[in-house]
Each structure stands twice: as structure tokens, then as C-alpha cells.
Amino acid sequence: MLMVATGNKAVATAVKDARPVVVAAYPITPQTEIVEQIANFVESGEMEARYIPVESEHSSMAACIGAAATGVRAFTATSSHGLVYMCEMLHWAAGARLPIVMANANRALGPGWNIWAEHSDSLSMRDTGWLQVYVGSVQEAYDATLMAFRIAEHDDVLLPVMVNLDGFTLTHIMQQMETVELGDFLPPCTVPHAIDTANPGGYGTLTPPTEHFKFRWDIERAMRDSVGVIRETEAEFARRFGRQYAPVEEYRCEDADVVIVAMGTLGKEAEVAADVLRNEGIRAGSARIRWFRPFPAIDFGDADVVVIDRDYSFGSGGILAHELKAAGMAPYSVIAGIGGQEVTYDDIAGFVRNRIPGGEYWFGVSD
């Protein structure tokens, strides 16, 4: 069915179609519309789920952990300070190998108080064991949420998935999207180690030094195995529904002398910048990183790389830039879009024209 929707409504609609049994909800700008819309679906009877309004984001994740531990599908959504308030429970969700799906509306962290887009919230959670995907359109927000449930619940993964969409820039923009009839694309949720009252067992018990590292390795093994599961899921989604995705969305990179790397909506803006630069005779392409965890294998050959980070690791540099450096690249690191700072395709084209391989540039500051 075709409709016009915001990014938030796209996520809520996907959740309705995925049929979770439990949804835990706590409002926070700019995510609130997601849980409000789900509440409307539940109230109207369009969605059968236990909707649990909790007193905090920490409790929201705790409720999802409890639900998933019984073997049922669970969902929540948050943003910014709500996400970092959940931090302890994010580690618990991944460590307990529970396939929870959560939408995060990317928003800056205070102080100063700011409600606009930034990736520092989710990227500060990059080591919790959650898979992370970053979307760039309303349609992709819907599609990625559906696929997140299938990926999280796969027997080779059984890790939680965070679907990230830029606050306001995507959460509140309206675009056309098309829903799907899932059929058997999303099988019933099964958690092999779910609580079974007929066979009591211990959960979250003390693990000694001789055992604890094995649990950490098991998360890493599942993260590595998720690479194949993601590709299989995206290929099956394309076969059934006609929309193609990949861990990295490359645009005009085949013969590029310079590649612009970014995530979220800036990655879509970079495609327009590549067209502008091509018209000037500069062979530019763009690569939008969709899956940040697990981080994809990428190789742009001898092309220069300009990476745009909507985040910063203080005292170290742009987080995405560091991932590229770890892959053996020497990118020109641009810090732009922090706290919703406007970044246009013309700005991005300027980053490329003035690039210094291995250098760092803070948009609006370095000048």
C-alpha cells in the first residue's frame, strides 16, 4: 500500500506489520511520534500487543529484556539522553543474547540542550554488542525495521538491533513509502534459551574468570555471523519486494577519484554533491554506510576519501573516520552536522574540492 508518512510513522507501521507481542514505551523528542502511533494502532485494534508505558528509558529496555527472555518479540524506541540512560540495559540485552529491536531517533546530547540530529548518541553505544543500521529515507526506515526483526531473531545472530534515523531531518520529514505483505518473510520469534518454567535455570548469574570471556567471544562470533545473515536477509527482501539494499550503498563509485563517505541523511545528500562535482569534471562518488555494526568490509582502491562525521570522540577524532583509518585509509575527516547544523550538498562539494588527505576540518569552526 502506498502512503505518505514521516520517518517516525514508517517505523511504527513496520512495527505493526512485524507483530511484536510487547512494546515498551517512554516518550522523548524527536522519537515520541513512534510510540504514540503504535499506541494508536493498539487502541484501534490494528495491532495486538501488550503496550507498556513505563517510567523511564531504563525501565523501557528492562521491560523488553523481560519480554524477550520469555521468547516473544519485543520493541521499543528512544533518542539521545534516553538512549544513554538505557546504557546499562543495552549491555544486558546483548549479553543475554536477546533479539530486541529498537528505533533510535539520532539527537545531540547536552549540555547545551539540543534536540536536533547528531550521531553521538548511538555511536557512544557502539561497543554494547548491538547491531546498528543507519537509514536515509522514509522508505528505508520502514524496510530496515522489518528486516531488523528477522536479522535479530536469526539463530546465528540472536543479538539486538538498533535502527537509527536522523532526528527531525528524517523522523519528521514526509515522503512516499510503500508497505508490504510480509507473508512468511518474518517467521515467528523463537529464542532457544527462553525461560521455561518447566525446566528452571539460572539467568545472569555470576560468571568466573574461567568462563566470562567465553560469553564475550560468543557475542563477537554472532556479530561476525550476522554479516552473512544481513546479506541473505537483504537479498531475500529484494527478491520478494523489489527494493535492494546493501551494507554500503555506493553511488557512482566505479571510476571515482574521490569518494564521500557518510551515514544517514548526509549520505543521501552526498549523492547530490557527487553529481555536482561530476558536472565540474571531478570524478566523485559517494558511499553511505548503512550497517555500522558489524562494520562492513570496504575498499575504494586508490581513490581519495572524504568522510563526514556527525559526531566526535573528544581527544581522538571523528568516529567514522577512525573506522576507515582502521581499514587502512587516510581520509580527509570532516566534522559537520553536529547538533543539527545545516549541511547542504554544496557544502559537501566544497569539502571535496578543498580536501587534504589525512587532515581534519570542523565545518563552521576551522574557517
Which tens digit of pLDDT belongs to each residue from 6-45?
A: 999 999 999 999 999 999 999 999 999 999 999 999 999 9
In terms of pTM, does the model score above 0.85?
Answer: yes
Average pLDDT over residues 283-310: 97
CATH topology of domain 2-184+205-241: Rossmann fold (3.40.50)
pLDDT digits (tens, 9 = 90+) for 76-112: 999 999 999 999 999 999 999 999 999 999 999 999 9
Longest distance between any two alpha carbons in the chain, whole Å: 70
pLDDT digits (tens, 9 = 90+) for 209-261: 999 999 999 999 999 999 999 999 999 999 999 999 999 999 999 999 999 99
The CATH number that domain 249-362 falls under is: 3.40.50.920
Instruction: Write the single-letter amino acid at 219.
Output: I
The CATH 3.40.50.970 portion of the chain extends over 2-184+205-241
Better-scored residue on pLDDT, 201 or 93: 93
The CATH 3.40.50.920 portion of the chain extends over 249-362
pLDDT digits (tens, 9 = 90+) for 130-153: 999 999 999 999 999 999 999 999
> Is beta strand 360-362 parallel, antiparallel or unpaired with respect to 332-335?
parallel
Give DSSP secondary structure letters for 243-254. Answer: ----SEEEES-T
